[in-house]
Amino acid sequence: MKRQKLTVLGATGSIGVSTLDVVARHPDRYEVIALTGNSRVEVLLDQCLQHRPRYAVVGNADAVAGLTERLRSAGLNTEVLAGPAALEQVAALPEVDMVMAAIVGAAGLQPTLAAVRQGKRVLLANKEVLVMAGALFMAEVRRYGATLLPIDSEHNAVFQSLPADYAGEPAGAGVSHILLTASGGPFLGTPLERLQNVTPAEACAHPNWEMGRKISVDSATLMNKGLEVIEAHWLFNLLPEQIEVVIHPQSVIHSLVQYVDGSVLAELGNPDMRTPIAYAMAWPERIAAGVLPLDLPAIARLSFEKPDLLRFPCLALAFRALRDGANAATVLNAANEVAVAAFLAGHLPFLAIAEIIAATLDAVPVRPMADLTAILAEDANARAVATELLARKSA
């Protein structure tokens, strides 16, 4: 069997770590060509020592010499690069077959596009790519013949529950709508009056999933699910009214597809990201992922409820942005990143995250975006507006 060659963008994050765990279980199938990390150089070093990539990319050029020296001392000839251009370079390497796109936030857009434009198999774990630039991104996927496979557990579950030949035509496939499940995060049962004073540590303590700090806060506000709604729109060509969110605290059913004949197909499993990662890496085959089998009698109960939009206003804002179209989702994402960073730094109360996002959407007119330059300009403008609103709120 010819080994598939892999670049992991965001190797030091939770998705990257899980990806490399799957790789380590199948050394006969996969070969790591490039690993990228931003500031977690020690983690990246350990990963390089285990997987021996040809390239390693760090965020800060000052770290290049030190990491290079330590790799040389260990007998590795890994070339260490730095910066955004290097991310695009390793995503587009001719010898690479597949790219795990797991850089969090807007920073992942351009390297993921670089992989698409080389016709790679792109394993998409960065939902902000489709939120910021869905129309452009999907057009580039079609233009360059890239294979796009979703890694988010929800979209991966939908992908598994759709017909194998699904071509973005829900009516032709008999699809009525999809249901994206959400755990509800750590504050599902917390009294509303106490949410004003919750801490970043509390917000990051997800009950089921092990995730990075930013995505954990997004899960606590349900913005993560809102971004997934927008992502599902682009991945599966669904109207906003064909996408429903349901709270499912056990995180066992990862999402469902409702068909016009009344059938509902769902993908179930323990909450472990190695399942969707392994499915996408080996698709259309299946391989072992190191995940324990589901024990339904031990779980005993699966429960569901509608999301409370008073508790989770970010979800309503995401649907608003999807319906507004044009630049609205780009603005939503940028404002959310600014607000979440301020919350994590202790400069903004938890409930004010949604307030900053709503105020930014109100302040930035809805207008079309013609190309990547316009998308990046809208992103920068929205960040400036959100930052100014944040400064006023703190004054």
| pLDDT per position as a tens digit, 204-218 | 886 665 667 888 899
Q: Can you give the pLDDT at residue 125?
A: 95
Residue 207 tokens, joined = 């009950």
Q: Where in the chain is the domain with CATH 3.40.50.720?
A: 4-150
| H-assigned helices in the chain | 14-25, 41-51, 64-73, 84-91, 109-116, 127-144, 153-161, 200-203, 213-221, 223-236, 274-282, 296-299, 313-324, 328-344, 352-363, 372-394
Tell me if 360 sits within 8 A of 385, measured CB to CB.
Answer: yes
Q: Structure pTM?
A: 0.93
Q: Where in the chain is the domain with CATH 1.10.1740.10?
A: 325-395
DSSP of 223-240, one letter per residue?
A: HHHHHHHHHHHHHHT--G
Tell me if 82 sits within 8 A of 60, measured CB to CB.
Answer: yes
Residue whose pair of structure tokens reads 């990201």 in the numeric block: 273
Q: Calculate the dihedral angle through the C-alpha atoms of 132, 87, 148, 288, rounding to the nearest 10 degrees.
A: -130
Q: Can you give the pLDDT at residue 105?
A: 82
Q: Can you give the pLDDT at residue 342?
A: 96
DSSP, collapsed to helix, strand or coil, labels residue 291 as coil
* N-terminal to C-terminal alpha carbon distance within the chain: 62
For residues 78-116, one letter each, b for 16 or more C-beta atoms within 10 angstroms of the residue's C-beta and e for the rest, the string is bbbbbeeebbbbbbbbeebbbbbbbbbbbbbbbbbbbbb
The residues of the chain scoring below 70 in pLDDT are 206-211, 395
- State how far the alpha carbon of 157 is from the alpha carbons of 141, 179, 392, in Å: 21, 10, 42
Phi, psi dihedral angles at 101 (to 5 degrees) = -95, 90
CA distance 237 to 255: 16
DSSP, collapsed to helix, strand or coil, labels residue 246 as strand
Partnered with residue 281 across adjacent β-strands are: none
CA distance 120 to 145: 8
Architecture of domain 325-395: Orthogonal Bundle (1.10)
CATH superfamily, domain at 4-150 = NAD(P)-binding Rossmann-like Domain (3.40.50.720)
Q: Can you give the pLDDT at residue 89?
A: 98
